[in-house]
Amino acid sequence: MHISFIKLSVLGLFLILFPFCSSSPEKSETIHQAPVEPPLIVIYGSNTCDHCIDFKAKLDSVGLKYSFNDVDVNEDKVLEMLEVVKNANYQGRINFPLVYLNNTKLLVAPDFEVFMRAL
């Protein structure tokens, strides 16, 4: 009889404390995080460039949105690209695709894995 009383006491204590437990759904706190902004990806290249075509296909396959500027058909985009290169202090050879990430980072003909790590 003494053991039954202890079991009931432990059970009663458990039932009393359970609603105050931090894992209880009634008392759990919702943590609100700021929404993550998608990266701003601007690509300069050519629709006839195999590397550009492959890079765009990989971006599409992972669902990343981007802006593609075909410098073969738009002289204004050539000038814009040259301004981006100048502002990034890049002094090397320009190869395509030229990727401008979040208006801060210039990647020249990046390997896709390198690009993904830069995000």
Quote the pLDDT of residue 80.
97
User: 41-118 sits in which CATH class?
Assistant: alpha beta
Task: Tell how far CA 50 is from the center of its chain.
Answer: 25
User: So where are the chain's domains?
Assistant: 41-118
Find residue 100's DSSP bridge partners: 42, 106
Taking the model in full, what pTM does it have? Answer: 0.69
Cβ neighbours of residue 24 closer than 8 Å, sequence gap 6 or more: 18
Indicate the Cα dihedral angle 71, 94, 63, 31, nearest 10°: -120
Chain segment 86-118, per-residue pLDDT in tens: 999 999 999 999 999 999 999 999 999 999 999
């301004």: which residue's tokens? 83
Ranges of the chain whose pLDDT falls below 50 = 4-8, 10-25
